[in-house]
Amino acid sequence: MQKRRPRTGLYIFVGLVVAAVGALAYLGLGSALTGDAGQVERVQTPAIEDPPAAVSERVADEARAKESSAEEEAARERAAEERAAAEERREAEAVVAPEDPTMYLTVPALGIENVPVINEDSEAALEAGTQHVTSTGFPWQEGANTYIAGHRLGYPGTASDHIFYDLPRLGAGDEITLTDSNGEVYNYAVTNIVEVSPTDTWVMNPPSSGNDMVSLQTCIENFGDYWTEGPNWFARYVVQAERV
């Protein structure tokens, strides 16, 4: 019986070793399974991130661009409508040019009332009252300088007699009125006075301002000499008035 004890101890030792190995194997397998499950779970439920800020800004920019484009288009349409309305007003207000270019001059400060303005470059036109220089414009034309000449002394017994004798007495703001053969009235106010030589034809040019103008011209003895009655008449005295 004493010879069997060592073998029994060996059996016990081997059993303990097997049990320990089994326990270790079990613990290792559990960890592996737990790790795999965690990895699978992470794959199946990925994190969802917020939209990038750049995308939001691009959407906002596109919205603003569309709004700005719509506003610009509306502004262009309004401008086109305003231009069309202005053109209609101009056409409605446009004066019909009379068939007879004869006009009638009124200058209250000089006692001139409805004196004929004859559209001829002739002495006969001056004797009839005053003369419209035919190379210049008419009051029914936009931006015109209606240029009218009259004698200082003129001819007794005619409408030209002293017609523009007192022209140097006119001052800024004095009224000048023209009436065409259709009865259309054009009102002006004196704005400028110039003295020129007979060769200074630039004074007949249309006004650079674009405003309608009438010019009344007569002769004076010399520059600054308004009351000597000839005989030389070296200078021209011109009263300019703009449309009001």
Annotated catalytic residues are 151, 219
Cα–Cα distance measured from residue 216 to residue 149, given in angstroms and rounded to the nearest whole number: 6
Cα–Cα distance measured from residue 166 to residue 218, given in angstroms and rounded to the nearest whole number: 10
Contact 138, 213 (CB under 8 A): no
Cis peptide bond prior to 231, omega within 30° of 0: yes
Residue for token pair 């008419």: 138
**How distant, in Å, are the alpha carbons of 67, 174, 181, 224 from that of 195?**
61, 18, 31, 8
Cα–Cα distance measured from residue 90 to residue 83, given in angstroms and rounded to the nearest whole number: 11
